[in-house]
Amino acid sequence: MSSAASASAAGGAGEEGAAAAAQPQQEGPVVTCKGVNGLDKVVLREVRGSSAEVYLYGGHVTSWKDEHGEELLFVSNKAIFKPPKAIRGGIPICFPQFSNFGNLDPHGFARNRTWSVENDPPPFPVPTSNKAYVDLILTHTEEDLKIWPHSYEFRLRVALGPGGDLMLTSRIRNTNADGKPFSFTFAYHTYFSISDISEVRVEGLETLDYLDNLQERNRYTEQGDAIVFESELDRIYLGTPSKIAIIDHEKKRTFVVRKGGLPDAVVWNPWDKKAKAMSDFGDDEYKRMVCVEAAAIEKPITLKPGEEWTGKLELSAVPSSYYSGQLDPDRVLQDSSVPEDSIS
Q: Which residues are catalytic?
A: 189, 293
Angle at CA of residue 192, ends 191 and 196, nearest 5°: 120
H or E stretch covering 296: strand 289-303
- Measured CA to CA, the distance from residue 308 to residue 343 in angstroms comes to 5
The one-letter amino acid at 120: D
User: Cα(154)–Cα(95) distance, rounded to whole angstroms?
Assistant: 10
Contact by Cβ (8 Å): 290, 200:
yes
Q: Are 293 and 188 in contact (CB under 8 A)?
A: yes
> Strand locations in 222-280, DSSP E?
227-228, 233-237, 243-248, 253-260, 264-269
Do 3 and 46 contact (CB within 8 A), yes or no? no
Q: Are 271 and 74 in contact (CB under 8 A)?
A: no
Which residues lie below 8 Å from residue 252, measured CB to CB, with a gap of 6+?
319, 320, 321
What one-letter code names the amino acid at 300? Answer: P
Q: What CA–CA distance (Å, rounded) separates 54 from 167?
A: 12
Q: DSSP assignment, residue 43? A: E
Report the Cα–Cα distance between both ends of the chain, in Å, rounded: 41
- What single-letter DSSP state applies at residue 123? P
Residue 309 neighbours by CB under 8 Å, 6+ apart: 170, 171, 172, 173, 261, 301, 303, 342, 343
How many CB atoms are located within 10 Å of the residue 146 CB? 8
Spatial contact of 226 and 254, defined as CB atoms under 8 Å apart: no
Q: How many CB atoms lie within 10 A of CB 330?
A: 5
